[in-house]
Structure 1
Amino acid sequence: MLVFRLRFARSMRHILLSFLLLLFGGTLAAHAQSDATHPPADELSIRWGVETNRVDDGNRFRSSFTIANHGDVALGTTHWTLYFNFSRQIDPASVTAPVRITRLNGDFYRLEPDADLPPIEPGDQLRVTVEAPGSVIKRIDAPAGFYVVFKDAEGRARPPAVVSDVTVEPFTRPAQTSRGPGDTWPVPTPATRYADHRSLTARPPDAEGRIVPTPDSIHRRPGAFALRADATIRYEAGLAAEARQLAAGLAAALGRRPRTTRTDSAAAITLRRAEAPRPAVDTASAEAYRLTVDPETGITITGATDAGVFYGGQSLEAWLPVAAYRAPSSPVDVPAVQVLDAPRFDHRGLHLDVARNMQSVAAVKRLLDIMAFYKLNTFHFHLTDDEGWRLAVEGLPELTRVGGRRGHTLDEQAHLMPSYGSGPSPSPEASRGSGWYSRADYLDILRYAKARHITVMPEIDVPGHARAAIQAMEARTRRLRAAGDTAAARAYRLRDPADTSDYESVQGWDDNVMNVCRPSTYRFLSTVVDELRGLHEAAGAPLPAVHVGGDEVPEGAWAGSPICDDYIARTEGVDGADDLFGHFLGRFQDTLATRGIAMAGWEEVGLEEADHRSATTTPNEALVDDDVQPYVWSNIWGGGTEDRAYRLANAGYDVVMAQATNFYFDMAYSKHPREDGYYWAGFVDTKAPFAFVPFDLYKSADRTRMGHPIDPDTAFADQVRLADTARNNIRGLQGQLWGETLRKPDRMEYMAVPRLLSLAERAWAPRPGWATLDDSGALRARRAEAWTAFANRLGHRELPRLSIRHPDWSYRLPPPGATVEAGTLRANVALPGLAVRYTTDGTRPTATSPRYTAPVPVPEGATVRLRTFDTLGRGGRTVTVPTSP
C-alpha cells in the first residue's frame, strides 16, 4: 500500500505554485523545474524500520524508508539519487512511493525519484515502503552506507555526500522480532537471562583450574616458588625467541622483564627441549611440553619442540595468580605443580575475513597475540573475495589500486562499488571497505605469527567469490590496451567478454566467477601463488597449504561462455559446463603440488561435481590422495548436510571441522535485536564451541536454527557416523570470523572473544568425560556442570587477565540477567566473576555504581538498570528491569 504523506502547508504551497505558473507562464515553470538547488546532505535524515516479517505467511518482510528534509530549500523532483547497501533483495514492484529502487549488483542499491514525485519541501518527509524475501530481526540487518549524488542545472554530477543522520527504528513487536510462524527462539530479556543463568553458581576463583585450555594433566604440589623481578631465564640453543617471548609475558606480572641467558646455571626458569625419544614428555606430539614448578629448584619448561617450549611458557603465564597482573610486584609466589600437556588436535585455527572489511596490521597482530596465548596455531587469512583484494602482488598493481578499494562508481573503472555500507569514498582512511597489505605489511604479519608459532594460511578465494580480482584485471586490460600492448592486456584477464552466462551468487553478484577456460586465469593464479611463496620464504614462515576457497560457485556459471564452449569441445573428460568446477580444481591442485604446496578449500572442494551446490554429499574420490584438505562448514541442524564432515573423513580426506552452528563467530551471540551478527545458522553463544563433540557432532545439537528442540537420539538416525578408522582424518577445529559486519576493530574483537577461548578449550583439551555419554539427558546434565566450571574460569580469571594484559581489547561483556520480585532485585551474569553494577534512579550504571553481590531491596516504581563491567571499568550493554507487572 502506498504510504506517502505531505503536510497541509506543503499542499498550500503547491496551490500557490500552480497559480504562479498560470500567471507567469512557461518562463517561471522552466525556472521552477530546473531543480538545481538542493538541501545539503547533512540537512537530510533517513529513518528505516521493519513493519512486519509476516508478509506472505512469513516468507517476506515489509520495511520503510523515511527521507526527511530539515533544510531551507526543497529536495526537488529530479537531479538527485540516493545510494545505499542492503543485504536483502528488494522487490521493485513492492515500492509504494513515486521512486524507483534498483539493485545495481551485490548489495548495492540506488533510489531515484519518479517524474511525478512532488518536491520534498523543508520540514516535510517522504515515506517509502518496500518488501523483500526473508526476514530482518536485528539492527545490523538495516540498510547502511547512505549517500546522495546531486546534479547541477546542466546535469553534471556533484561529488557524493554522505547522509550521516540515519536512524534504525527499534525492534519491539513480535512481528518485528520473529522470523515467521516457525520461529520459536525467544528474544532475551533480563528475566529470561536470569533464569538461564541460575544454574551458573559462582565458585571460588581457584576452584575451577587456572589454565585455559585445560592441560592433559595437572599435579599440584605443596609450596610455591618465589619468582623475583631479577629472575633469569636460561635457555638451550635455538630457544632464544621462546625465552624472549616468555620474558615479555612475565614482565606484566613482575614489573620488569627477566633477563635471558644461555649460561646462568642458577636461573629461576629453564627452557629446554627433550632429547629423543623425548623421555621428559609423555607424548609423541610435537607440541607437547612439561611444566614443573619446584619450590626449591625453580621452574623448568621442557618441550618436545620449540613450539612445545612456547606453549609451556604460555601455561606458566596462565598459572601465575591473576592478582600479580593487577599489581605487578616482586616476588610472585608461583604454586608448585607439574603439568604434562599436549594438544588433542594438530589444527587449531581461526579464520579472519579482511576482504569484506579491512583490518589493520595492528589489529591482526592483536588477534595473533590472543590466539597464541590460548594455543591456537593456524591463522586462516581470508585475503580476497568479491568485495576486496587485500594483498599487493608485484607486477599487478590493479589488484590493490582497483580491487582493494570501494567507493562511489557506476562503471568501476577506478575502484569497486560500495558494499556492506562502506560509503562513497574509496580512501582507506575513510572506509573499512578500502585498504590492503603491502609486501612489507604481509611480511610483518608473517614474522609476528611465526614468533608465536602460528602458521599463516592465506586464502585466495576462487573460482567464485572472485569479483575483486576480475574487475581489477579488467582495469589492467584497459590500461595496457590503451598503451597499445594487446598481448600483455590478455595475459591475466579473468573473464570472457562474450560470456552471456546468467547466474547469481548467494551474495547477489552476477559477475563474480573467474573464467576457468582461459589460460590467462591459470597464469594469474600461478603468479599469485608464486608471490605468496616468495613472501613466506622471505619471512622464513611455512606455507604448507594455500586455501583456494572453492565455495558457492553459482549454477549457470560458464554456460554462456564461447571460450568455455570451445574448451569443452577439445578437452577430454569435460562434457559440459557442469564439469568445469572439478576440472579447474584439478588443474589448480597441480599448480600447487608442483610448488610443494597442499590445497585447502571449503568443503565443496572434496565433493563430486554434481553435489557441490546441493545438500547431497558424494566425496570426490579422484582428489582423496592428492593432498586436498576440505574445511567443512555447512551443518545447519536439520538442513541435511550435518554428516558432510564424516562422509569426507570416511572417504580419506583430512578434514578441518569449521561448522557454522558452533564455530561461525560472525553469528550473533543471541537473538536480541541489538546483538549484532548474522543468524542464518542460528545463534552462537560462548557455550556453543565448548559444547561441540568432534567425533560425534550430533551430540552437539540442542535446537534447530529456528529454535525447535532436537532429540539427538532420533533426529540423526539416517546420518553417517564417523568411522573409528577415520578419526585420525579429523585434523582439527577452526573458528570463523567472517567480515561482513566487522566494520571496526572493536567489532572484530567483540565477535572473537570470549568464543575464541571456548574454541581453544575444545581444540586442545582432552576429550571431556561428558562427551562419551550416550544418553542425551545425562550428557546434557554433565555438560552443564562442566560449562559452569568453565564459565567461572572465564569470569574469574581469563577475562580479568585479558583486560590487564590487553587493556584496549574490546571483548564482549554479556548483559546481566535480572528480575525484581516483591521489591527485591536479583541479578546474575553468564560468566560468574564479572562485575554487575546497578542503579535504581534510572541513570546508566558506571564503573563507580554499586556492585551487585546479593539481593537488593528497591523502592516501588524505581527504574532499575544494570551493566556488566570488566576490571578496567569498561561497561557492556545496559539493561532495564521492570519493577512492576
Structure 2
Amino acid sequence: MKKTPLYILLLLLFAVNTSAQNKTPFNVADLKLTWQSAEENHLNSGDTHVILTLSNKGKKPIPASGWSIYFNTGGAKSAGIDSNIIVKQVNGDVFKLSPGKSFALRAGGVLKSDLRTGNIKNATDFPKGFYLVFDKQPGKGFPIKTEFDNTANIDEREKQLAEKVYNQNQLIKSVPENELPPVLPTPVKYTRELGTFNLTSAVKISTAAVFAKEARYLASELSKVLGKAPAVATGDKSAGIMIEQDKAIAPEAYELKVTSSQITIMASTATGAFYGIQSLKLLLPPTAWASVQQDLKISNVIITDAPRFGHRAFMMDIARNFQQKQEVIKLIDLLSLYKFNVLHLHLNDDEGWRIQIPGLPELTEIGSQRGHTINAKNRLHPSYGSGPDAANKAGSGFYTRADYIEILKYANDRHIKVIPEFETPGHARAAIKSMDVRYDRLMKAGKAAEANKYLLRDVNDKSVYRSVQGWDDNVINVALPSVYTFLTKVTDEIIAMHKEAGVPLETIHFGGDEVPAGVWEKSPAVANVLKQDTSVKNVDEMWHYYFSKINTMLKARKLYLSGWEEVGLRKVTIDGKKQMIVDTRMADQNIHVDVWNNLSGNEELAYKLANAGYKVVLTNVTNLYLDLAYNESISERGQYWGGYVDMNKPYAFIPYNYYKNQKENEEGKPIPAGYFDNKLQLTDAGRANILGIQAPLWSETLISADKFEYLLLPKLFAVAERAWAVDPDWATEKDVALSESMYNTAWSTFANKVARELPRLNNYAGGFNYRVPTPGAIIKDGNIEANMQLPGFVLRYTTNGSIPTNTSKIFSGKIPAAGNTIKLRAFGANGRSSSVLKLN
C-alpha cells in the first residue's frame, strides 16, 4: 500500500506520544534504599524501629509526588515520628511507600525516615522485592537498589546462640562405623557379619516375575555407579543378586542378606522388594555416585525390616513459591531412597495456582503468574519478594497436565502416593481472582449463565475480614452453587489425569486451614442459605455445610476426604467467647486430617481428633514443620512462629506421647515440670486412628531450589527415622533420668549416621544443597572452644576478620580469645561449608 503524507504524520505523532509516556520523571537507578533495624522491641511494643534511608545519586531532585515504592513484608507502618514517608498496605504482604508532606530529596542528597515493622529475628523478616511505580506509568515496576543493616544487638545474640549450640553438641560423641546401623532409617533388626560382596557390572540380577519392574529399576540405578546395567533374568539361582517372593512377609516389609557370594532380597509385594532395593543402594559407599566405579565392596549383613507407620509423608508447597518439575523429580528420588511413601502436593494458595485444569485456562493464565498489577486482572500481586516481573521463576509457574502425569508416573514407579491438595475455602485467592477474570470476560460477551458457572465469590458480599497473611479477599463463598461446580470440575480433571497416568487416586486434600473471623457475615448468598436450610443455624455452621458437600461429592467418586485439622472442628460460643471444638458429626467417615496445631493451649488436639474417630496424620508444627529456621541466628532463613526446628526436633518426636519429649514451647521457653500431667491421652481406638506422620515444607522463603533443599536437609533424615523405625526404648522408658540418658546415646549414634550419610547427597540424583551445621563455640578461661553437631567436618578459622576458606587454619582444640576478631566455619570433604560464626 502506498503510504500517504497523512499516514506518516500519524505515525510520527504516535511515536512522539509514546516516547513522552515512557519518559520517567527521574532515573530509578539513581535511587538507593537502605533499611536499617535500629532498635528491637521499640517502646516495649514488640515492633522493631526501622530507619529508612533514601539516597539520591542523580543530578536532579526526586519529585515529592507521582511515585510509590512497592515491597513485601509481614507488616510495616509509619512510626509517627516524621511525615517524610507514608506506608500503606495494598493487600496481603504487599505494602507501598509514598512521599509524605515533608518529603524532600535533593540531588546527591539523603533522606531518613522512621518506620516501625514487626520484630526482626532473622533474614526472613527483612522486607523484599522493592520496586518503584510512577503514577503516569501504573502498569510498570522498576526494581530499585536495596541494602539491609540489622546490627541491633546481633553480635551478642550470636554469641549466646553459639554457646547454646556448643552445649547441645557436647552430647555428640564419635561412634565407629561398625557400631552404626547399616542403613537409614534404622532397620527393625540387623546383624553385621564378616566379609564383603564384590559388586561389578558383570553381576547378574535374577528376579521373581512379579518383581521384574523393580529388578529393572535396580539395574538402572546400579548403572549410574558401575557405568553399565547388570543383566536381569528370571530363575537364575547362580545370579549374584536374587530378588525372590515370600508371601509370608508383611506387605511393606523385606529381608536383605548380603554374603560374600550372593545378595538376596525377599519380600511379598513389589513395595517390599523396592524397599529392600533401596536398602541395598544405601549399603553402597556414600561416595559411589561421585564417579563410575569398576567394583564396589558391600559389607556382609542380614537385615529384617518393616515400617512402623503406613503413612510416611512429606508435604511440598509449590503454591507460595514455585519449584520446577525437575526439582519434584529429584525430591521423589530422595524420598523413595529413605522410604517415604506419600508426597502431598500443595497446589494452590493465595499466591499461586500451580496446575493446568482443562477448560479453566484463567487458573494458570492469571493464577499462576505474579507481577506488578493494579487490580489483579492480568496477574496476581507480587508476594514474597517476587518483584514486578511476571517472568520471576519463584513467583510464577505451573505444571501442565502432561507434567503432572509425568510426576504421577515417576512417583508411582517409586512406590510413592501423590496426594493433590486444593486449599479451600480459605487461602484461595489465586483461584478466586482467576475466576473473577473469567466472569468479567463472559459478562462482557453477554454470557451471564456461563460467567456465573464457576464464580467463587458473592459479588454482593460486604463482609470485612483480614487473613493471617493479610489478605481481605481470599475466601471462597461456600453458599454459591457455582463453588461446587468448580470443585467438581477440578476433581474430575484430576481423576482423569490419574487415570491416564495409570496411577490410583484415593483422596484429594481440600485444605480447610485458617479461615479468618468476619467471613460470610454480610453475604446475601449465605443469608439465603440460612433462610432456606434450617439445619444451618448460623454463619459458623457454613463450615459443616461446605465440607459435608465436599465429602459427599468425593464419596460419589469413591474417594475419601483429606484436609487440615479444621475439617474435624466446629466453632461454638462458650461463655461468650467463640472456640473450636471437635465436630463429632464428621467423625467415623474415614476423613483424614493433618493436625499441625500443638501450640500452647492446643497440645491435645491431635489426640482429641483421633479419639473421636478421625484418621489423624501427625503434622506437629513444633517438631515437623521443616520451614521453621534451624535456630535463632540472624543468618538462618526460615519461619519461627512455631519455634525453631533443627534435626533433633523431629528425631525427638514421640508419636503416641509427644508430650513426653517436649522441652520448650513455640517461643523457645522451657516448659514447666508437670505441665502435661493432666493432658488428654490417646485411647486404644485413638491410637489405631494415628496413620503416621508428615513433615511440611512451606515455601514463603523458598525462592530457589537451593533454598528448598537447605531447609529440607538434613532434617528429612530425622523425619524418615521417626516414620519408619520402631518405637525407640527411650520413648517408652518411664524413669525420666534413664530415658534422657538413653535418648542422648541414641541421638549421638543417629548424628554420626547422618554425618556418614550426607556425602551420598553430594551426587545422588544430581546432588542436594544440604545444610552444613554452623559450629558451636564457647569462651572459657580466656580461650575459644568449638565443636560440631555432625562429626566429619573440618573447622577452619581466621583471626583478622576475613571469611574462612577451605585453606584457612584448621581449628584444633582451642585458641586464645583475646585481641582477635575470630571467625569459624565448617567444611566438608567436597568444600561445602557452613555459615560463618563470628566471635569477639
Instruction: Call closer, same or farther: CA 1:63–1:299 in 2, change over 3 Å.
Output: same
1:222 is aligned, of 191, 194, 212, to 194
Which amino acid in 2 is paired with 1:344? R
Which amino acid in 2 is paired with 1:709? P
Separation in 2, partners of 1:150, 1:628: 51
Separation in 2, partners of 1:202, 1:242: 37
Partner of 1:881: 839
Partner of 2:777: 818
Which amino acid in 2 is paired with 1:109? F
Instruction: Call closer, same or farther: CA 1:94–1:139 in 2, change over 3 Å.
Output: farther
Partner of 1:371: 335
Report the 3-state secondary structure (helix = DSSP H, G, I; strand = E; otherwise coil) of the residue aligned with 2:761. helix
1:856 deviates by 5.7
- What are the superposed Cα offsets for residues 394-441 of structure 1, whole Å, 9 maximum, x if unpaired? 0000001111111111111111111111111112xx241111111011
Instruction: Call closer, same or farther: CA 1:419–1:857 in 2, change over 3 Å.
Output: closer
Partner of 2:103: 117
Separation in 2, partners of 1:680, 1:768: 29
Instruction: Call closer, same or farther: CA 1:240–1:849 in 2, change over 3 Å.
Output: farther
Which amino acid in 1 is paired with 2:115? V
1:290 deviates by 0.6
Instruction: Call closer, same or farther: CA 1:550–1:617 in 2, change over 3 Å.
Output: same
1:328 deviates by 4.8
Separation in 2, partners of 1:449, 1:187: 44
Report the 3-state secondary structure (helix = DSSP H, G, I; strand = E; otherwise coil) of the residue aligned with 1:339. strand
1:555 deviates by 1.3
Report the 3-state secondary structure (helix = DSSP H, G, I; strand = E; otherwise coil) of the residue aligned with 2:674. helix
1:66 deviates by 1.5
Instruction: Call closer, same or farther: CA 1:737–1:615 in 2, change over 3 Å.
Output: farther
Contact 2:363 2:430 in 1 (8 A): yes
Separation in 2, partners of 1:139, 1:324: 36
Partner of 1:161: 142
Partner of 2:253: 288
Separation in 2, partners of 1:719, 1:538: 48
Partner of 1:769: 729
Partner of 2:240: 268
RMSD of the TM alignment (CA)? 2.4
Which amino acid in 1 is paired with 2:828? D
Instruction: State the aligned residue count.
Output: 819
Separation in 1, partners of 2:338, 2:577: 36
1:157 deviates by 4.1
Report the 3-state secondary structure (helix = DSSP H, G, I; strand = E; otherwise coil) of the residue aligned with 1:238. helix
Partner of 1:239: 211
1:71 deviates by 2.0
- 1:846 maps to 2:805: yes
Instruction: Call closer, same or farther: CA 1:252–1:402 in 2, change over 3 Å.
Output: same
- What are the superposed Cα offsets for residues 817-854 of structure 1, whole Å, 9 maximum, x if unpaired? 235667865432111123333344544333344544x4
Contact 2:186 2:725 in 1 (8 A): yes
**Which of 524-533 and 476-485 deviates more?**
476-485
Contact 2:130 2:143 in 1 (8 A): yes
1:324 deviates by 4.3
1:607 deviates by 1.2
Which amino acid in 1 is paired with 2:687? R
Contact 1:253 1:327 in 2 (8 A): yes
2:829 is aligned, of 871, 882, 885, to 871
1:646 is aligned, of 607, 624, 630, to 607
Separation in 2, partners of 1:322, 1:146: 43
Separation in 2, partners of 1:343, 1:627: 22
Contact 2:226 2:292 in 1 (8 A): yes
**Which of 815-824 and 724-733 deviates more?**
815-824
Alignment of 1:63-102 (within 5 A): 63-88=50-75, 90-91=76-77, 94=80, 96-102=82-88
Separation in 1, partners of 2:245, 2:572: 50
Q: Which runs of 5+ in 2 are unaligned?
A: 1-20
1:56 deviates by 4.7
Report the 3-state secondary structure (helix = DSSP H, G, I; strand = E; otherwise coil) of the residue aligned with 1:425. coil
Partner of 1:468: 430
Separation in 1, partners of 2:470, 2:644: 24
- 1:170 maps to 2:150: yes
1:35 deviates by 14
Partner of 2:116: 131
Separation in 2, partners of 1:650, 1:708: 29
Q: Which runs of 5+ in 1 are unaligned?
A: 1-33, 179-185
- 1:142 maps to 2:126: yes
Partner of 1:181: none
Partner of 1:732: 692
Alignment of 1:457-496 (within 5 A): 457-496=419-458
Contact 1:419 1:433 in 2 (8 A): yes
Report the 3-state secondary structure (helix = DSSP H, G, I; strand = E; otherwise coil) of the residue aligned with 1:608. strand
- 1:791 maps to 2:751: yes
1:257 is aligned, of 224, 229, 245, to 229
Alignment of 1:408-557 (within 5 A): 408-427=372-391, 430-557=392-519
- 1:705 maps to 2:666: yes
Separation in 1, partners of 2:581, 2:780: 57
2:313 is aligned, of 339, 349, 371, to 349
Which amino acid in 2 is paired with 1:764? W
1:214 deviates by 0.3
**Which of 605-614 and 100-109 deviates more?**
605-614
Separation in 1, partners of 2:134, 2:168: 52
Separation in 2, partners of 1:840, 1:187: 16
Separation in 1, partners of 2:593, 2:359: 31
Contact 2:61 2:107 in 1 (8 A): yes
Separation in 2, partners of 1:369, 1:94: 53
Separation in 2, partners of 1:787, 1:755: 13
- What are the superposed Cα offsets for residues 677-711 of structure 1, whole Å, 9 maximum, x if unpaired? 11111111110000000011101211122332224
Report the 3-state secondary structure (helix = DSSP H, G, I; strand = E; otherwise coil) of the residue aligned with 2:175. coil
Separation in 2, partners of 1:619, 1:157: 48
Separation in 2, partners of 1:701, 1:399: 42
TM-score under structure 2 length normalisation: 0.93
**Which of 855-864 and 656-665 deviates more?**
855-864
Partner of 1:805: 764
Partner of 1:22: none
**Which of 549-558 and 122-131 deviates more?**
122-131
Partner of 2:12: none
Separation in 1, partners of 2:570, 2:148: 44
Partner of 1:386: 350
**Which of 410-419 and 198-207 deviates more?**
198-207
- What are the superposed Cα offsets for residues 117-159 of structure 1, whole Å, 9 maximum, x if unpaired? 22x1222222222234x522112101111000124xxx45473
Contact 1:190 1:880 in 2 (8 A): no
Instruction: Call closer, same or farther: CA 1:588–1:251 in 2, change over 3 Å.
Output: same
Report the 3-state secondary structure (helix = DSSP H, G, I; strand = E; otherwise coil) of the residue aligned with 2:130. strand
- What are the superposed Cα offsets for residues 650-677 of structure 1, whole Å, 9 maximum, x if unpaired? 1111100000000011111000111111
Identity between Structure 1 and Structure 2 (%)? 38
Report the 3-state secondary structure (helix = DSSP H, G, I; strand = E; otherwise coil) of the residue aligned with 1:370. helix
1:629 is aligned, of 592, 606, 612, to 592
Report the 3-state secondary structure (helix = DSSP H, G, I; strand = E; otherwise coil) of the residue aligned with 2:623. helix
1:724 deviates by 2.8
1:729 deviates by 0.8
- What are the superposed Cα offsets for residues 336-379 of structure 1, whole Å, 9 maximum, x if unpaired? 22111000000000011111000000111111111111111100
Report the 3-state secondary structure (helix = DSSP H, G, I; strand = E; otherwise coil) of the residue aligned with 1:239. helix
TM-score under structure 1 length normalisation: 0.89
**Which of 374-383 and 301-310 deviates more?**
301-310
**Which of 479-488 and 247-256 deviates more?**
247-256
1:596 deviates by 1.0
Instruction: Call closer, same or farther: CA 1:879–1:807 in 2, change over 3 Å.
Output: farther
1:731 deviates by 0.3
Contact 1:568 1:576 in 2 (8 A): yes
Separation in 1, partners of 2:808, 2:821: 14
- What are the superposed Cα offsets for residues 247-268 of structure 1, whole Å, 9 maximum, x if unpaired? 2333444343322233544221
Partner of 2:368: 404
1:873 deviates by 1.4
